[in-house]
Chain A
Amino acid sequence: MIVLNDIHKSYGRTQVLRGCTAAVKLGEVVVVCGPSGSGKSTLIKCVNGLVPIDRGSITVDGVSVTDKHTDLPALRAQIGMVFQNFELYPHMTALQNVSLAQIHVLKRSRAEADARSEQLLARVGLSSKLSSRPDQLSGGQQQRVSIARALSMDPKAMLFDEPTSALDPEMVNEVLEVMQALALDGMTMMVVTHEMGFAQRVAERVLFMDGGEILEDSPKSQFFANPSTERARQFLTKVLSH
């Protein structure tokens, strides 16, 4: 479904990605972890072309992201993305947030879009919050709206960039539960997260990144039981110790 081949990316002089190769198969859930600054966000933003890369190739469902002739907006419409800071549109209600791209990208009528949005907001447990603005919602609720917004495009795959890092601890689970339900439905997911419990429960494979490289790409059982690099071992001790 998602194929990354030898991705290189620099910001000015700093090399952020140095030859990353990975793949996410249809229906698979892959967790990406690694210390801060290791390039996780950059990598996941390459997948839908939000970050242009210097070298390498990316395809999603057989379509090249890096090809100049690819209609990037059309491709992005088929990949949902959820951000660490939610990035809901603050000038719109929850319902409008979810309907907006359906109306302007999928060209659905407003009624059609709103009906679909209501369904999706119900699915993430927010039926009662349709007309709330983002600043009237808790962090966990905002992130669930943002998941509904991504789902509103009926995506083939979902990207999550630390969806629970900005949340108060008591709200982490409500978001993880929604994500777990998605995974059970067979959604293809690439998830940057430090929630190792989620990885153990839901992921098929774990990628471990450090210094812009993918140091490990293993089935989760192997990653947690017996990581092959010292740095992954150290990282695991740190995140699992609390």
Chain B
Amino acid sequence: MNYNWDWGVLLQQPYWGWLWSGLGWTLLISLGSWVIALSVGISAGIARCMPNRAIQIVASVYIEVFRNIPPLVQLFLWYFVFPELLPDALGLWIKRDLPNPEYVTAIVGLGLFAGARVAEQIRAGIAAVGIHLLPAALATGLRPLQAFRLILLPLGLRAVFGPLTSEFLITVKMSSISLTIGMLELTAQSRHIENYTFHGLEAFAVATVVYLLLGLSVTGLMRVIDRRFGAAKYRRASS
């Protein structure tokens, strides 16, 4: 393999700065989408378990639609199609006056995609707890809604702590697709450096290491939190 490795390039300006700002955007997009994903996902997940048929159906439709369309396609729908479908004035406002429309589109698009996956995890978590504990809870005289609020919901949310950590990391990785609508996040910046310096492999290597460290530290952090407050502690106490 004939490649002239030169790691020094990355330490020069502006490239070093590009990588940092890329990392910054990756974090901003991930966190922004995650806020949306959690709020929408938890609501939809709970709605999915409600006894009301209409609420259930609305939640299911959301989950199925947003899970089964590739996130890139969803992003394009929000970016190119959605403004066209609105009344002219509003569409125009989005296109012209919305501050940082790419960022807003990215977190909405990625957030709603991740939200559907979060909702599915929540539903599964609640269902898993319910199989064992619902009969017992009802037998103590709790009404179904009380049993849900007091037993299934808190335990279900604790049970999905691990899966939600994975979902967050998927969201971090998924934030890279926002480069297709012009967000200069980490992956985009490393590609950008390739364009300017022809030392792309070095830039990709740095990006790879950054994603890896991000993943490992989030996993580690969540494990610590889980051990202190979460399901792990609960499991130990109950056994």
**Touching chains A and B, CB distance < 8 Å:** no
Which B residues form the contact surface with A (CB < 8 A)? Answer: none
